[in-house]
Structure 1
Amino acid sequence: MTDPNNCYAYFAVYDDDLDPSAVSAELGITPTRAWRKGDRDSRHRERRTGKWSLYSRVERTAALDEHLKDVLLQMDANSSAFAAVSHRLGGTMQLVGNFNDIGAGLRVSKTIVSRLAFYGLRLDLDTYYLYSDSRECTG
């Protein structure tokens, strides 16, 4: 039996001088993850840049486009502030798909493309096909 796909998406801004609390105040929302340059990660390594990010609230087994739509929905709640921050700090929409199933893909409507453009977002798509013959029953 194949494991379910594991997908997620998030909006992020990165900057060496990023003050996560100032970004949160401007956007009026608490980030899912945030840190300053120099903060330590879980392995005690120093962060090379500051980051503020807002993740999808959708279950990770949902399709990648559902994650994208959820992040945009959250951004739409304060669209002018998110657009300003994104344009100023070079916002990114990060999409990650860990696929165990053949045929997984992403279809983006014109409306979604327009919304990404409104926010001035870069789109970073990372997909990984995790299938392995050695993990599957070939019986």
Structure 2
Amino acid sequence: MAQVGRSVATLRVAGVDLVPDEVSELLGIQPTHAQRKGQPSRSGMHLATFGLWRLEARNREPENVNGQVEELLSQVTSKLEVWRVLGRRFEVDLFCGWFMNESNEGLDISPANLLALGERGIQLSLDIYAPTTAE
């Protein structure tokens, strides 16, 4: 089986009453992107209906989701109590986008990374993109 062609990964914390600066203080890092509820969108076409804090890993080609998990978790606090507090108040996930070049590609997530995500209560959210065919 071939390796997935490209991967993106983003640690996300979201909630109606989320204040990005509070999340930054708890996690010990500024986000790649943040928004507060009621804030105009980037396009200015609508107002945000919830708060969002995002930290993006470098895109990898070919995929290296294990490297992306390690990159993200190495930048934020390892204190599990902080993660429990965040998980009680907000939705916390690791969004991964996997972009295939062929119809049968795969990847592995290490037990250490699965454990690290689980200990922190970080849900794994996957979008898997099939290769496009030229018409």
TM category (shorter chain) comes to 0.7 to 0.9
Paired residue for 1:69? 70
Runs of 4+ in 1 over 6 A off after TM superposition: none
- For residues 1-139 of structure 1, the aligned pairs below 5 Å read 5-44=5-44, 45-56=46-57, 58-65=58-65, 66-75=67-76, 78-80=77-79, 83-88=83-88, 89-134=90-135
Q: 2:71 & 2:103 partners in 1: Cα distance?
A: 24
Computing the radius of gyration from Cα coordinates, the structure with the larger value is 1
Unpaired runs of at least 5, structure 2: none
TM-score by length of 1: 0.79
- Aligned-residue sequence identity (percent) comes to 27
Q: After superposition, what is the alpha-carbon deviation per residue over 1:80-137, rounded to whole angstroms, capped at 9, x for unaligned? A: 1752454232311111123233433231121111101111111100011132132xxx
Q: 1:103 to 1:64 in 2, by over 3 A?
A: farther
Q: 2:99 & 2:18 partners in 1: Cα distance?
A: 30
TM-score by length of 2: 0.81
Q: 1:96 to 1:21 in 2, by over 3 A?
A: same
Q: After superposition, what is the alpha-carbon deviation per residue over 1:9-48, rounded to whole angstroms, capped at 9, x for unaligned? A: 0111111111111111222211011100111222222212
Q: After superposition, what is the alpha-carbon deviation per residue over 1:56-79, rounded to whole angstroms, capped at 9, x for unaligned? A: 1x344241413233222223xx21
Which structure dedicates a bigger proportion of its chain to helix?
Answer: 1
SS in 2 for 1:79: coil
Unpaired runs of at least 5, structure 1: 135-139
Q: 1:25 to 1:72 in 2, by over 3 A?
A: closer
Q: When the two structures are aligned, how many residues end up with a matched partner?
A: 128
Q: 2:68 & 2:118 partners in 1: Cα distance?
A: 17
SS in 2 for 1:26: helix
Decide whether the 8 Å contact of 2:103 with 2:131 is kept in 1.
no
